[in-house]
Chains A and B, each alone.
Chain A
Amino acid sequence: MSTSAASPAPVPGPGEPRDSGPARSVSENGTTPGGGPEPTVPPGPVATSEAASTSGTGPETAVRVRGLHKSYGELEVLRGIDLDVVAGEVVCLIGPSGSGKSTLLRCLNLLETPQAGSISVDGFTVTDPDLDVDAMRRRVGMVFQQFNLFPHLSVLENCTMAQVKVLKRPAAEARRVALANLRRVGLSEKADQRPAQLSGGQQQRVAIARALSVDPDLMLFDEPTSALDPETVGDVLSIMRGLAADGMTMLVVTHEMSFARDVADRVVFMDGGVVVEQGPAREVIGSPQHQRTRTFLSRVLNPTTGAAPEAPDTSEAPTTPA
């Protein structure tokens, strides 16, 4: 585990202005207390964002999810998710595999179509059937676990293709933007190579540069370091720290707990398709309130100790913040 000293990003502690998340909420079924299906609220200031209004970036809602349900046939993957992300916030989604974190992320830019609930992202009502999907996706960058670079294009072309074909930028400008973003991820000298010539970590950094090249307002990271060799994970994470420090709104599905603790403003723990617990990163990871969170974290943080130390049997009892 790295320490926060390694992070160049300003890491606000609890109560500091950057800590813009809603008051910490914990509930047994994962929904906010009393939170049934709520009507779609137009994007704008939300009730819980009074803390965000002090952050200087304004109380702009980047992501607002209400009562989100998604199932594949009989398998219910998301069972009523509520989530708010304020512009400039870094939110890490953690939880065991199969908990629905990636599905939630993929619903946000409609790579998966949810069955029920409402999503608004960056001012777009994603769940509106009349949505201009492509216009929404232009504002939302996505980084995949498997990089998904285009193998038949050079590194530079990977970063210019969408600019030219989608944003209709002139080739010279697209090239300039692409090179600037490649410089940002430290790979401008690889511009003319093919993705296959790069290591996994380098490919993922190119994927970040590619996503940044269309100037998104929001970045979604779907387990960006899970497919990497351990020695290249750090490079990718430090790029992401830099992005967070520059004020990019980020939603990160990750198993990197030290990254979540050091960089995230807020951590959302999901299990079984619901949000079990969320709050400031250090609090959720440092002193989780819910038994399921404790079990998960002890497995992730102490993988060698085998079974999680069993706390008193409170898992089925309603848990309230201490």
Chain B
Amino acid sequence: MSMTTRQRARLSRGIQYAVLVVVLIALVVLADWDVLLQRVLNPAVAMDQFPGIITVALKNTLIYTVLGFVLGLSLGVVLALMKLSSVAPYRWIATLYIEFFRGVPALLVFLALGYGIPLAFGFRFNHYVTVMIALGVVAAAYIAESLRAGLQAVPPGQYEAARSLGMSHTRAMVTIVIPQALRIVLPPLTNEVILLTKDSSLVYLLGMGVEQYELTKFGREGISSAGAGLTPLMVAGVCYLIITVPLGLLSRHFENKTVRVKKS
């Protein structure tokens, strides 16, 4: 008995569904749910995380992310303008910077700032400054590239048309080029905030006081108390998702919808 291609495809899909259902049933029947819940999602342990995980850890994660983003954006704007400059050495410096910090692991930067510099020079930044620099210098490299791409994606004819109407360079950039570049840059910029949120977990490498714990360090400390199991890390993970999922939705929203940069 021969089957048409469409019938074969339908049969294949049916088999895949059947396998998935069997696996699901096996999980439900065979797994020891009491033990799993006890060790992974223990409600009592989860409750123990509060309120510290919000008032200390989530708050600090947000602070570190914002610090990194502020430095990253400021430095990124400068680097993007340098990269588009007509002065060649500016372009070289910006290229060198961007290639370097996109090419080395953020972990290395954290170790350099947290341990390398104190050991080499016997001198240590304030905790928040260290975090800001470590997160910011890497983010700046990525942000600079996004901004450059966004500015270059606006056709040169837009600038020329604006100048031809008598607008100054600054006026043409502010009213015509940057609003259009912003539309292009918002999705990658939002993604950069997501990456920064997650990279802020690297702060846990730096020694710090209890009140400076961020989500990952807080979870790490949580699982070392007796009988806590995985639950503290699960709670920390959910806290990350509370930040990153809305940002992801926002990014997609920017991508899909034409953001109207309306003048007042």
Contacts and interface: CB of A to CB of B under 8 A. Distances in A.
Interface of A: 109, 111, 134-135, 137-138, 140-142, 144, 146, 148-153, 157, 161-162, 165-167, 207, 210-211, 214
Contacts of B261: 152
Given A152-B261, A157-B263, A165-B171, A134 B158 contact: no
Contacts of A109: 164
B158 A166 contact: no
Nearest to B258: A152
Question: Which 7 pairs across A and B sit closest by C-beta, in order of nearness?
Answer: A138-B166, A162-B165, A148-B161, A148-B157, A142-B164, A166-B166, A137-B166
A205 to B, nearest CB: 15
B167 interface: yes
B180 A134 contact: no
A152 B165 contact: no
B161 A150 contact: yes
A223 to B, nearest CB: 13
Nearest to B259: A152
B176 to A, nearest CB: 6
Interface residues of B, number: 21
A166 B171 contact: yes
Contacts of B165: 137-138, 161-162, 166, 210-211, 214
B163 A137 contact: yes
Nearest to A135: B166
A33 to B, nearest CB: 35
A141 B263 CA distance: 24
B188 to A, nearest CB: 18
Given A150-B176, A151-B180, A152-B183, A144 B161 contact: yes
20 contacts: A111-B160, A111-B163, A134-B166, A134-B167, A137-B165, A142-B160, A144-B160, A144-B161, A146-B155, A148-B160, A148-B161, A150-B161, A150-B162, A152-B180, A157-B263, A161-B175, A165-B167, A165-B171, A166-B166, A214-B165
Nearest to B158: A148
Interface of B: 155, 157-158, 160-168, 171, 175-176, 179-180, 183, 260-261, 263
Contacts of A142: 160-161, 164
Contacts of A150: 158, 161-162, 176, 180
A142 B167 CA distance: 13
Contacts of A210: 165
Contact of A148 (B155, B168, B175, B179): B155
Nearest to B159: A148
Contacts of B180: 150-152
B16 to A, nearest CB: 43
A151 B261 CA distance: 10
A166 B168 CA distance: 8
A218 to B, nearest CB: 12
A165 B174 CA distance: 11
A93 B62 CA distance: 62
Contacts of B263: 153, 157, 161
A214 B155 CA distance: 23
Instruction: Determine which residue in A109, A134, A141, A152 has the highest number of CB atoms from chain B within 10 A of its CB, and name it.
Output: A152
A157 B264 CA distance: 11
A40 B155 CA distance: 36
A237 to B, nearest CB: 21
Contacts of A162: 162, 165-167
A144 B163 CA distance: 13
B185 to A, nearest CB: 14
Given A148-B155, A165-B171, A166-B165, 17 more contacts: A134-B168, A138-B165, A142-B160, A144-B157, A144-B161, A146-B157, A148-B157, A148-B161, A149-B161, A152-B260, A162-B165, A165-B167, A166-B167, A167-B166, A207-B161, A214-B165, A214-B166
Contacts of A167: 166
Nearest to B179: A152
Nearest to A166: B166
A111 B167 contact: no
A127 B205 CA distance: 62
Contacts of B164: 109, 111, 137, 140-142, 211
B237 to A, nearest CB: 39
- Of B158, B166, B263, which is in contact with the most chain A CB atoms at under 10 Å from its CB? B166
A150 B173 CA distance: 12
Contacts of A157: 263
A235 to B, nearest CB: 20
Contacts of A134: 163, 166-168
A207 B161 CA distance: 9
Contacts of B161: 142, 144, 148-150, 207
Contacts of A166: 165-167, 171
A312 to B, nearest CB: 44
